[in-house]
Structure 1
């Protein structure tokens, strides 16, 4: 039986951190980078355990997104992965439900960058594809991120959003979104 537990990065022991990192590298193979791993740290993790084996991971970290002239405290979902032999069993949905609860209670909105494979999953959970242009606030100023325009999904909370408007993320090393 699979059990999903949540914990802040600071509350995870070394074994759980190592298991999560290894899982992400196994699932994403060549698409996982050190920056991607760093992006997943510092927030709340949803960890799916089958006995002593970690079979799923997702995390939500705080970011700032600029929309409509306002910086929004955003729960940004990172590193959603389920081991191949445990997929299609509801594990990703259970992990996301935990993170969505956190987002709804603690943030102005939720956001994530969806892969082509994951987009339908997020949409089925009520996440909405951002229709407008995307940007990143870089050390050199605001830069357009048009490659991300069709990949960003948001989970609205109480803050009104214009999904056709511009959305700018705060800066970080590696992929901006």
Structure 2
């Protein structure tokens, strides 16, 4: 269909240095300087979705593999990171194209999709069928399981292969920086 936008997907290892620099610059702009080095590192090592306007990168999102613990199970989880569209290109369906591409990978590869959303993006994810996690969130830190109360209500999931109890505890694997 004319006017439809598609996102190209590629693994981090298949992206050249210039594309990675462009993605980081786009995210720095989209998050108004609130994209830390840890946040950028969290976006690497998985599948990136990219929307281009000619030679200009207009949108980026990535999907990385994580392990989430729930009800005694370790769930192979596709975790969405670094979703951003250039401020001057918003409202053109690029965010939808990015998530369409990542959700296709999710459906084919993972037990569960998960992400942590800013308040600004909540309605976007809800419209796409993502569900707010209602139960407590925690992290499996080097010292054991530690509650992450400040993240309660900001974690969203897309159940795929296995049923989940949205009121139960959800524990993410440890990483430096923001754990969710």
Same fold at TM > 0.5:
yes
Alignment equivalent of 1:107, drawn from 102, 106, 110: 110
1:65 Cα deviation after fit: 0.2
Equivalent residue number for residue 8 of structure 1: 11
Q: How does 1:151-170 map to 2 (within 5 A)?
A: 151-170=154-173
Equivalent residue number for residue 93 of structure 2: 90
1:130 Cα deviation after fit: 0.2
Equivalent residue number for residue 31 of structure 1: 34
1:168 Cα deviation after fit: 0.1
1:29 Cα deviation after fit: 2.2
Equivalent residue number for residue 74 of structure 1: 77
Equivalent residue number for residue 150 of structure 2: 147
Gaps (5+ residues) in structure 1?
A: none
Q: Which TM-score applies when normalising by structure 2? A: 0.96
Alignment equivalent of 1:134, drawn from 129, 132, 137: 137
Provide the C-alpha distance between the structure 2 equivalents of 1:134 and 1:170, rounded to a whole number of angstroms.
Answer: 11
Provide the C-alpha distance between the structure 1 equivalents of 2:29 and 2:87, rounded to a whole number of angstroms.
Answer: 9
Q: Secondary structure at the match of 2:103?
A: helix
Gaps (5+ residues) in structure 2?
A: none
1:114 Cα deviation after fit: 0.4
Q: Does 1:19 align with 2:22?
A: yes
CA RMSD between the two structures: 0.9
Number of matched pairs: 177
Moved over 3 A (4+): none
